[in-house]
A and B are shown apart, each in its own frame.
Chain A
Amino acid sequence: MKTLKMMLAMGLLCLSSAAVQAVEIRDHHQEVIGKDCKTCHDNGIKQFPSDQACQQCHDVDELAETTARSEEDKWQNPHNNLHYGKELPCQECHGEHKAKEPICSNCHTFKYDKHKK
């Protein structure tokens, strides 16, 4: 079981039993969401969640405060960044069924140590 979870986290396995494991990437999600897929999949199980789905529980202004950086690096705040402000959909950097890199890493070598895929 632990191995399976690890493989998931590494993005090696993202089909078959992925659905059951979805909430295990983030412990707190398991607690809150449990096994109710529809909590996130508001557009139907076969569709990606809407870009509003995460905001049932998360507030972008609060997230932006949590991840704020010093004045000099203020635009590297992933939740309020230079290129897209606060509008970047969560799913660009966070995945529940497969690991994701922050979109910043397309062009920058920033380190986000607390980023959970």
Chain B
Amino acid sequence: MSNVDLLGRRKFIAGLGAAAGAAMVAPAMAVSEKTDGVKWDKEVEIVIIGSGFAGLAAGIEATKLGAKDVHIFEKMSYFGGNSAINGGLFAAPGTPMQSKEGVKDSVDRMVADQMAAGRGIADEALLRHVAEHAMEALQMTFDAGSEYHPYLQQLGGHSVARTYQTTVSCGAGITQPLLHKCRDLGVHTHNRSKFEGFLIGGNGEVLGVKMRDNYHFDEEQPGKVINIRAKRGVIMATGGFAQNVNLRMAQDPTLTSEVGCTNAPGATGEGMYEMFRLGAVPVHLAHIQSGPWASPDEGGFGYVSNYSIYNFPHSIAINRLTGKRFMNEIADRKTRADAELACRDEKGNALPPILITSYKDSKKHPNTKKVIKYNVGWKFDSIEELASHFNVPTKALKTQIEEYNQYVKSGEDTQFGKNMTKAKDKYIEAPFTVVRLWPKVHYCQGGVQITTKAEVKDSFTGNPIAGLYAAGEVCGGIHGVSRLGSCSIPECMVMGMTAARSMMKA
């Protein structure tokens, strides 16, 4: 991307004040130290830092494999991290619902779809490892009591429908059952516990961690720091850094504090940077993903994101200036986010495009009621009414809808090459529901390099750092340039389970 593009993009995003929400956060500095002379305050079997999908799955798996004294530490006052506030979308090949719906899928096919979106720099071995074990992770959620909508969805960049979604359309439909499962199994869960650094043995191995207790995020309050010895090792499941504006701007200067963010406030990256300080390999940090389904009319992930994700396959995204489509509505996230950011008025100011869906189709997802009720989406009885509300050229829009409906009929989108499988028989017809779209920072593809055993590799030796494992968004390089939607939950859970398995075998 040229500098000119960067500046231009920055200007578009900055022009949209409504999307702002990410607060500046300056996390306290964590520092690791040698254990010489350190007094251990506590000794436990396994330390897990972070209570999202990866940490919770690691806790359950370790306990199943016989661990007796597992501790999950969470710096926020509440559990679940970013995993508790996302779409709850879970992709896996060879699932019961795929058999039921007659969808032909395979590990190879899921990996191939992800490799394409990774644009040549994704890690095939890790993607394959996750796809091979995704069904086990999905089963873990079934066993814990997670419930899913009775249909599959086909998300952007996926060549078939392979995505489950929780009935509450949120990751909390997984984190809450997993958290309760952890506690039922005897896993100890500690909130307000902030990771302050590793404690290192004579050979550079991780022996334990420094933890600050009674921590109040974003407040000045010195809690007590204690040294915890982790007999089997430490699993870092600390998530991404999308909420740390300084760190994300260091990678991508266009991602200023004015750019919206879907993440929980705690996604600030200290755990990741402390692993770098220890010697972990930084991978793909500049690949920070924006979600093309987000709305400028609400904060964070809100209600619109899931509404859009569900409806994109049978909807049209319209540039309000032209009244025309401007992208394949189920292209991968980067393709769509870039296309949306290019939608602007004559002066170059942000002009969030609109997503138009037939109400008869949109109403099948529970979020449709919500977006209308909470005034972040609108219902219209005619094209004229819709066009006038959003100031879209009526004639051009009418022509576009007629053209698109031909693609629905023929099954071939000659305009943008969209896969029309899920659009079958779903003509764009009044009444309509409409939301506005504008990308928000959503996911960090970059992080520490790991092996397929969830070991963290050392920059200089290339060998795993003893006693240290990592899982989930804190890891980098797995997805390459653009992660496909619904592929993070399986990755987090499979790698959390993998970390537990590796640790119990070591």
Partners in one complex: yes
Where the two chains meet, the residues of A that have a C-beta atom closer than 8 Å to any C-beta of B are 43, 47-48, 50-51, 72, 75, 82-85, 87-89, 91-92, 105-110
A28: min CB distance to chain B, Å: 24
Q: Does B21 contact A (CB under 8 A)?
A: yes
Residue in B closest to A105 when the chains form the complex, CB atoms = B299
Contacting residue for A109 out of B192, B216, B298, CB 8 A: B298
**Minimum-distance CB pairs A-B, first 4:** A107-B300, A89-B77, A83-B172, A83-B84
**Complex CA–CA separation, A88 to B375 (angstroms):** 26
How far apart are A23's CB and chain B's nearest CB, in angstroms? 20
Q: Is the CB of A108 within 8 A of B298?
A: yes
Q: Contact check: which of A72, A83, A92, A107 meets B302 at CB < 8 Å?
A: A107
Cross-chain contact A107 with B78 (CB below 8 angstroms): no
How distant is the Cα of A48 from the Cα of B299 in the complex, in angstroms? 28
Residues on B with beta carbons closer than 8 Å to the beta carbon of A89: 77-78
| Chain A residues whose C-beta falls within 8 Å of the C-beta of B376 in the assembled complex | 109
Residue on B with the closest CB to A82? B172
Cα-based distance from A47 to B303 in the complex (angstroms): 36
In the bound complex, residues from chain A placing their C-beta under 8 Å from that of B80 are 83-84
For chain B, the bracket of interface size reads 20 to 34
From residue 60 to 113 of chain B, which have CB atoms closer than 8 A to chain A? Answer: 77-80, 84-85
Q: Contact: B221 with A48, CB < 8 Å? A: yes
Listed A/B pairs (26) with beta-carbon separation below 8 Å? A47-B214, A48-B216, A48-B221, A82-B168, A82-B172, A83-B80, A83-B170, A84-B78, A84-B172, A85-B176, A87-B79, A89-B77, A91-B77, A92-B78, A105-B299, A106-B300, A107-B85, A107-B300, A107-B301, A108-B302, A108-B374, A109-B297, A109-B298, A109-B375, A109-B376, A110-B374
Chain B contacts for A83, CB-based, 8 A: 78, 80, 84-85, 170, 172
How distant is the Cα of A46 from the Cα of B170 in the complex, in angstroms? 38
Contacts of B216 in A (CB 8 A): 48, 91
Extra inter-chain contacts (8) besides given A48-B221, A87-B78, A109-B298, CB under 8 Å: A43-B214, A48-B219, A83-B170, A107-B262, A107-B298, A108-B299, A109-B375, A110-B374
B77, B298, B303: residue with the most chain A Cβ atoms closer than 10 Å: B77
Please report the C-alpha to C-alpha distance between residue A60 and residue B302 in the assembled complex, in whole angstroms: 25
Other-chain residue from B299, B303, B369, B375 in contact with A106 (beta carbon distance below 8 A): B299
Which chain B residue has the least Cβ–Cβ distance from A111? B374
State the Cβ distance, B227 to closest chain A Cβ, in Å. Answer: 21
The answer to whether A88 and B214 touch across the interface, beta carbons within 8 angstroms, is no
- Residues of chain B with a CB closer than 8 A to A51's CB: 77, 192
